[in-house]
Amino acid sequence: MMGYLGYGGFSWIGMLVNMVIMLAIVVGFIFLVIWAVRRTSGNNHQPVIQGSSSPSAKEIAQARYAKGEITRDEYQQILTDLTK
């Protein structure tokens, strides 16, 4: 009985563990290389928003009014000036 479970009895478990570890190392290395290439390439493709890239004067005035930076009278004056 001892001869059957001796040195080679469970050697396939060790081989399987070694294969899993090697596969994890290889996959990790591949992801590291991909990450490094993307990081250093400088091609940071930002999604392009349809329409204008900068907010309009009316949108800026609305945002400032919403934040409390300008009063209602100032906001209405800005809108009046923009429609002229």
Residue 53 in this model has a pLDDT that exceeds 60: yes
Q: Are residues 2 and 38 in the same domain?
A: yes
Asked if residue 9 belongs to a domain, the reply is yes
Q: Are residues 65 and 35 in the same domain?
A: no
Q: Are residues 36 and 58 in the same domain?
A: no
Q: Are residues 38 and 75 in the same domain?
A: no
Asked if residue 10 belongs to a domain, the reply is yes
- Say what the pTM is: 0.40
Task: Tell me what the mean pLDDT of segment 48-67 comes to.
Answer: 82
pLDDT band with cut points at 50, 70 and 90 for residue 44 = low
Q: Which residues of 38-75 are buried (b: 16+ CB within 10 A; e: fewer)?
A: eeeeeeeeeeeeeeeeeeeeeeebeeebeeeebeeeeb
Asked if residue 47 belongs to a domain, the reply is no
Q: Are residues 32 and 65 in the same domain?
A: no
Asked if residue 74 belongs to a domain, the reply is yes
Lowest mean pLDDT among 20-24, 47-51, 71-75: 47-51
